[in-house]
Amino acid sequence: DAGKGEYDHYMRKEIHSQPTSLANTIEGRVTDGEIELAEFPAGTFADVDDVQFVACGTSYHAAMYGEWLLREADVRTAVHRASEYESSAGPIDERTLVVAVTQSGETADTLAAVRSANARGARTVAVTNVVGSTAARETDDALYIRAGPEIGVAATKTFSSQSVTLALLTQRIAADIPDAQPIDDLDAMLETLSDLPEQVETVVETSRAADLAERYLESRAFFFIGRGLGHAVALEGALKFKEITYEHAEGFTAGELKHGPLALVTEATPVFSVFTGGGDEAVQTNATEAQSRGAPIVTVAPEDHPAVESGDAHLSIPDTHPVWAGLLANVQLQLLSYHAANELGRPIDKPRNLAKSVTVE
């Protein structure tokens, strides 16, 4: 298939195209250290009291990113599984902003949540990849992630672009809401963002994920842990892994490991531990708990991170701001899933039972 170019699978091509897709996402949106979203000039969100995110699947994990960043900014916020929104939404009114995160803009559960929010008077925004999609049309405003078409069923480049778009959107929102505070080191966060495409390139070019996929292929299950933004990455890492390898994979917030999942931990369950530069000591403690039960620990962290030495294997990420570190870690986990699925001979671009866009509730 010519569309794949030099790659065997669309997923691989899409992982490798992230330096470009991210550059497109960012282009023109940060100027002289300031966020500029043409869709949302300063003051747009001045009358917003609280922000709810609704999404499914991978987009839900990107939405977790948005929620975490807004909470850091002292904005009242929550993230909802779109399929549960009808009962989970709680009180909403015209001062509620509902952000629907959906790559395709066609996911039935997410559209149902948007319709419910619209009917209840909330203001709605779609963060989507597809211009003119149903979500873009049925919300008050759309913010495009500009990742380019994604063919592989398992979302990769769109997760990265969604997360970056949401990082910018949340800071725009926080700047507008009177009692909110953009995150402390916003300047550093925006400055390092321009390095992200190149750092993703470094990860893609130097990753040892193929070796690790092979090393742990016979495992009984694959666990992913992290805290804060690293939790979203752990969940996304596990989702990707189960989608395309058909192996049992689960993501947990690192602190929950000891409250149940630890019973599953053995020498045959590698634990991929995501270090983003926030709550890392606690993640390391939790990883050690699993290691002392025999589990191999794979640290996903910068080269000089203190956790690397005690881990059994390492996937390296360049040094950056904690908000972007998780996205680099996620690229390593995308490659891990890809190589494991490839070794297992799975139909990577079209996993059984899954669809790119699920248009039934």
44/162 with CB nearer ligand G6P: 162
The residue (of 243 and 280) whose beta carbon lies closer to ligand G6P is: 243
CB proximity list for 335: less than 8 A, separation 6 or greater: 15, 203, 204, 207, 209, 210
Select 162 or 276, whichever has its Cβ closest to ligand G6P: 162
What b/e sequence results for 160-194 when a residue is b if at least 16 CB atoms lie within 10 Å of its CB, and e otherwise? bbbbbbbbbbbbbbbbbbeebebbeebeebbebbe
Q: Does 104 bind ligand G6P (CB under 6 A)?
A: yes
Asked if residues 360 and 56 have their Cβ atoms less than 8 Å apart, the reply is no
Q: Which structure tokens are listed for 357?
A: 């866009």
Token digits for 229? 């933004």
- For the CB of residue 203, give the shortest distance to ligand G6P in the complex, in Å: 21
Q: How far apart are CA 247 and CA 355, in angstroms?
A: 18
Query: Binding of ligand G6P at residue 161 (CB under 6 A)?
Result: no
What six digits make up the tokens of 253?
């917030």
- SS3 state at 302: strand
Task: Output the smallest distance, CB 36 to ligand G6P, in A.
Answer: 25
Query: Residues 35, 155, 167, 336: which binds ligand G6P (CB under 6 A)?
Result: 155
Cβ 172 to ligand G6P, closest distance in Å?
21
Is 356 among the residues known to form the active site?
yes
57 is an interface residue for ligand G6P by CB under 6 A: yes
124 binds ligand G6P (CB under 6 A): no
DSSP letter at 258 equals: G
Q: Please list the helix, strand and coil fractions of the chain in percent, rounded to the nearest 5, in that order.
A: 45, 15, 35
Give the Cα separation of 287 and 272 in Å (integer).
9
With binding defined as CB under 6 A, does residue 83 bind ligand G6P?
no
Q: What are the two backbone dihedrals, phi and then psi, of residue 320, each rounded to the nearest 5 degrees?
A: -160, -175
> What single-letter DSSP state applies at residue 299?
E
Told to check if 131 binds ligand G6P by CB under 6 A, we report no
Residue 358 touches ligand G6P, criterion: CB under 6 A: yes
Residue listed under structure tokens 């497109």 = 24
Task: Single out the residue of 110, 161, 163, 269 in contact with ligand G6P (rule: CB under 6 A).
Answer: 110
- Binding residue (CB under 6 A) for ligand G6P from 21, 44, 52, 58: 58
56 near ligand G6P, rule: CB under 6 A:
yes
CB of 99 to ligand G6P, least distance (A): 13
Of 104-112, 140-148, 191-199, 205-213, which segment contacts ligand G6P by CB under 6 A? Answer: 104-112
Q: According to CB under 6 A, which residues from 318 to 357 bind ligand G6P?
A: 354-357
3-state secondary structure of 76: strand
Q: Which two tokens stand for residue 102?
A: 């959906």
For ligand G6P, the closer of residues 154 and 323 by Cβ is 154
| Closest-CA residue to 98 (of 110, 106, 84) | 110
21 versus 59: smaller Cβ distance to ligand G6P: 59
Q: Does 103 sit near ligand G6P (CB under 6 A)?
A: yes
Euclidean distance between CA atoms 202 and 19, whole angstroms: 9
Active-site residue identified among 4, 258, 350, 356: 356
Largest CA distance in the chain: 54
Give the range of 28-36, 101-109, 119-127, 207-215 binding ligand G6P by CB under 6 A: 101-109
Listed ranges 51-59, 73-81, 175-183, 309-317: which one lies at the site for ligand G6P (CB under 6 A): 51-59
Active site residues per annotation: 356
Contact residues: ligand G6P, CB under 6 A: 56-59, 102-104, 107, 110, 153-155, 354-358
